[in-house]
Structure 1
Amino acid sequence: MGSASVVWFRDDLRVADHPALDAAVRRGEPIVAVYVFDEVSAGVRPLGAASKWWLHHSLLALAGELDARGLTLTFRRGPATEVIAELLAETGAGAVFWNRRYALAEREIDSGIKSSLKEQGVEARSFQANVLFEPWTLQTGQGAPYRVFTPFWRACLGAKPPREPLSAPERGDVTPFGGPLASEDIASWQLLPTKPDWAGGLREAWVPGEKAAHDQIDAFEHSGLGDYVDDRDKPAVDATSRMSPRLRFGEISPFQLWHTMRGGVSGAGGAAAYLREVGWREFAYHLLYHFPSITTENMRPAFNAFPWAKPEPEVLHAWQQGLTGIPLVDAGMRELWQTGVMHNRIRMVAASFLVKNLLIDWRVGEAWFWDTLVDADLASNTMNWQWVAGSGVDAAPYFRVFNPELQAKKFDPAGEYINHFVPEAGTPAYPEPMVDLGESRKRALAAYEQVRGS
């Protein structure tokens, strides 16, 4: 076996605070950097269209960062188990390093590869890089996984503080792999929309990549953090960090965010509030690891008896396209379609409207968000939909039905957000509400009573 080191990039498209890359640099042998586009291995969920757009551009940005350090990012497509084996045969590498993933299918793939490599005498190591606290290190006093966020976050804050972020390697630190190595053209992966090209709004709203991620968090820290507590629920105000797609694709690590904001960990200001949101993401991964069925099944079995309505195509289409006649819901759905994200407060409102006012199964909405969000994250997306539906752990009470009209009065009182995305609201061109909010709320409560009775 040769001595090259393979660094397998996945949801960690960065060079700073990248433990697998750092380990390869420290090993001191030539480095093979590879990204494997795998949508065919058993259990792996194919990316949605918006996430594919982001992935394309983030991979190009990563290739540029590696190139600046003398490394070439090799692109391969296919089952990861086969691709990594082929790469080892081509390079004679003696080590493979990667950063850990937490969904069940990905864990099984990684575990199988690690066992196979060790049997061949190849060094195989995985690292903690994308969560602050490994899911198996935190448990309740009864030795069980946490199911409620507040005690979970309290345990996080009481645990050993997260490590310091690792520095990016310098050009002189690395030795590139010298042999010929075939790489696919990622244009052949067809990650970008072409017929039609619907990504114009995404291009206006985002610049994927590690450098853009750090520019963005620096701007937020210096100009947005002070007003974060007061303004984060106002959709018309640019008051959030917009880090969710950056974290999803690993352009920035939670360790970097933690240490950027660490002065406020124990306080009550913007930094503490912001880190609590990072903690909510940690909770999602905690649940994903311990309860992998959360991605497709109700966490509360009683909800298997919930009388979901059959999603009529025209009703679902109206929700998806922002044509429900409910201005705040429509504004959110149009923001999602145009920019690939939706303000978090409005995500809850739009999700609640689908699940509770229209009685459509949360999995239908989750699938739409999976396809249209640039930050579509398996852990967070499914946990948050179950939270709104009331079917998950730490769930909103079954009787909590977000009223879009009251939410608009409270968080968009001047109508700036609605007017931006739904300029025809209040005119004859705007459709009538597809349901009566009061009557549909009563239907939802009756349905939830049926679940409680079961």
Structure 2
Amino acid sequence: MATAINIFWFRRDLRLDDNLGFYNALRGKNPVLPIFIFDTEILESLPKDDARVTFIHDILTDMNAQLKEQGSGLAIYYGTPLEVFAQLSERFDIGHVITNHDYEPYAEERDQRIANYLKEKGIGFHTYQDQVIFEKDQIVKDNGDPYVVYTPYMKKWKYQFRNHYTLKHYEPAPLFDNLWTPSDLPFLSLEEIGFRRSSISVPPAITSPSLIQQYEARRNFPAVDGTSRLGPHLRFGTVSVRKMVAKAIAEKNEIFWQELIWREFFMQILWHFPHTVHKAFKPAYDRIAWNNDPEDFEKWKKGETGYSLVDAGMRELNSTGYMHNRVRMLVASFLCKHLLIDWRWGEAYFAEKLLDYEMASNVGNWQWAAGSGVDAAPYFRIFNPMTQAEKFDKEQKYIRKWVKEFGTNDYPTPMVDHKWARERCLSTYKEALN
């Protein structure tokens, strides 16, 4: 009879160290086959040179090399997860499939389908909490309701962490002997899954003591290299959130720590209120009469609005897949309030372009910019693009880096007058909300 195996399914946890699900899989009695599935239901909407797909494939290649040093390897499959597990269950005697939790609506539906299928086959399906410190309804009000304002959530999060959480790390090295060692694991190339290498690369995360110590002083200035670039690494799990929290604690930096908590705040919001992917958290805001001018949207996308800091941010995004967080707030506010374009248009464009796109944070921040979300800025708070540039890029280093024609006759005049656009926004919002 064939050897019974367990399968560990990598998803948003692309690392071998401090990976709770992988650690527990290796502790089981059956040898473990590690797999990754390039899900066609996700890939079909992406451009063929998507930088995130290249990044994932590069990380998987590194993981495979590490596993080969242990006499094993990583299997890469292509298709829908249901199709792949049907193939695997035909080929192998599978005892259990182990993976880590995912919280986005599609992921939850997918995992339920997989769990149902495996149950029919008599195969166990086990998931672990790995990509956050606290999930779902672990941080709620005393009456059980979810928090919809960040500050009290953050305070409760820190209280629970300090009083009830033990920060462990899950290093699997002694358990690698329990890896399965077949000789014919598929390891598909980018080309074999229908993609090609992107010209955009994901920069490494910077979590040095000096960056964390200077985080508050430097993080708001886009010309300064003062941010960690952790976004895509947390998104795809190439770093452990437990180790990032440990770094924040070691450097005694509350602000850096609180940025990690913001991520979990938005993830629990999405879990409690999945409708916010497509609808305003505050329903009245879905009555706003958006202008939604396609030509205005194109100017915004290309960074041709005539507002220098907005344009610099959009050009940085288009060129690199990254935009400084301070500038993200401005370009989002400009789209929704100066141009009266639906936040969902901007959210979708960021989803297409951002290397660190994470649905919960992206939806949460776009709804914040539009005034329609939880913990949102009041609708009458409208960023002035000119004063924002003066405040955060006074020497115009960031602007001149990305807007080469700035200050010449080739640079366009502002596409809308700030004062006029502000008054139009206030009038339109009042009409919808009163």
- The two structures have a TM-score, normalised by structure 2, of 0.93
Q: Report the equivalent of 1:283.
A: 265
**Which of 390, 394, 404 is the equivalent residue of 2:371?**
390
Following superposition, the deviation at residue 177 of structure 1 comes to 3.2
**Residues 188-234 of structure 1, C-alpha deviations (whole Å, 9 max, x = no match):** 223336xxxxx43x23xx35xxxx54xx32xxx32212211111100
Question: 211, 218, 239: which is aligned to 1:252?
Answer: 239
1:191 counterpart (182, 192, 195): 195
- Identify the range of structure 1 (105-114 vs 329-338) with the bigger mean alpha-carbon deviation: 105-114
Superimposed CA distance per residue, residues 158-195 of structure 1 (whole angstroms, 9 cap, x where no aligned partner): 112253121142585343232644443332223336xx
Distance 2:400 2:166 in 1: 43
- For residue 274 of structure 2, the aligned residue among 292, 297, 307 is 292
Q: Which whole-Å deviations, capped at 9, do the CAs of 1:7-63 have from their partners, x for residues lacking one?
A: 10111111111112111211143221111122328xx99457343333233332332
Q: Match for residue 169 of structure 1?
A: 173
Where do residues 396-407 of structure 1 align in structure 2 (5 Å cutoff)?
Answer: 396-407=377-388
- Corresponding residue SS for 2:330: helix
**Contact between 1:69 and 1:169, CA under 8 Å: does it hold in 2?**
no
Q: 1:258 to 1:47 in 2, by over 3 A?
A: farther
Aligned pairs for 1:434-445 (under 5 A) are 434-445=415-426
Alignment partner of 1:8 is 2:9: yes
**Aligned position for 1:19:** 20
2:183 and 2:65 map into 1 onto residues whose CA distance is 20
Matched, 1:428 2:409: yes
Once the two structures are superposed, the pairs formed by residues 44-443 of structure 1 within 5 Å of their partners are 46=45, 49-159=50-160, 160-161=164-165, 163-169=167-173, 173-178=177-182, 180-192=184-196, 199-200=198-199, 202-203=200-201, 206-207=202-203, 212-213=204-205, 216-217=206-207, 221-263=208-250, 271-312=253-294, 314-443=295-424
What displacement does 1:82 show? 2.5
The answer on whether the counterparts of 1:329 and 1:350 sit within 8 Å (CA) in structure 2 is yes
**What is the alpha-carbon distance in structure 2 between the residues aligned to residue 180 and residue 61 of structure 1?**
18
- Measure the CA separation in 2 of the matches of 1:61 and 1:391: 42
Counterparts in 2 of 1:191 and 1:379: CA distance versus 1, 3 Å: farther
Find the aligned partners of 1:46 and 1:69 in 2 and give their Cα distance. Answer: 36
- Sort the Cα spacing of 1:191 and 1:248 in 2 relative to 1 into closer, same or farther, 3 A: farther
Task: Tell me, yes or no, if the aligned pair for 1:369 and 1:376 is still in contact at 8 Å.
Answer: yes
Residues 73 and 185 in structure 2, CA contact (< 8 A), matched pair in contact too: no
Alignment check: 8 A CA contact 2:35 2:75 kept: yes
Deviations 1:309-340 (A, max 9, x none): 0322x321111111111100010011111111
SS at match of 1:93: strand
Q: Secondary structure at the match of 1:177?
A: coil
Counterpart CA distance in 2 for 1:381 and 1:131 is 17
CA displacement at 1:108 relative to structure 2: 2.3
What amino acid is the match of 2:221? K
Query: CA–CA distance in 1 between the matches of 2:115 and 2:360?
Result: 24
| Matched residue SS, 1:136 | coil
Residue matched to 1:196:
none
Question: Whole-Å Cα distance in 2 between the matches of residues 47 and 167 of structure 1?
Answer: 34
Query: TM-score with structure 1 length normalisation?
Result: 0.89
Task: Determine what percentage of the aligned residue pairs are the same residue.
Answer: 37
Shift of 1:65: 3.1
Aligned residue-pair number: 428
Rounded to whole Å, the distance in 1 between the matches of 2:227 and 2:319 is 18
Q: Supply the AA of the counterpart residue of 2:97.
A: V
2:123 & 2:36 partners in 1: Cα distance? Answer: 19
> Is the Cα–Cα contact under 8 Å of residues 329 and 369 in structure 2 kept in the other structure?
yes
Q: Determine if contact 2:51/2:355 at 8 Å carries over to the other structure.
A: yes
CA apart distance, 1:137? 1.4
Which residues of structure 1 form unaligned runs of 5+?
Answer: 194-198
* SS at structure 1 position matched to 2:94: coil
What letter corresponds to residue 191 of structure 2 in structure 1?
Answer: A
Compute the displacement of 1:383 (Å): 0.8
Classify the secondary structure of the residue corresponding to 1:130: coil
CA contact (8 A) 1:133 1:162 kept: no
Residue 392 of structure 1 aligns to a residue whose secondary structure is coil
CA RMSD of aligned residues (A): 2.1
Structure 2 stretches lacking a partner, 5+ long: none
In the aligned structure 2, how far is the partner of 1:24 from the partner of 1:276?
A: 31
Distance 1:378 1:95, change over 3 A: same
CA, structure 1 residues 274+162, in 2 after alignment: closer, same or farther (shift >3 Å)? farther
Letter in 1 for 2:103: Y
Q: Distance in 1 between matches of 2:171 and 2:13?
A: 15
How much does 1:119 deviate?
Answer: 4.3
Following superposition, the deviation at residue 289 of structure 1 comes to 0.6
Q: Closer, same or farther in 2 for the Cα pair 1:162/1:425, shift >3 Å?
A: farther
- Conservation of the 8 A alpha-carbon contact between 2:146 and 2:272: yes
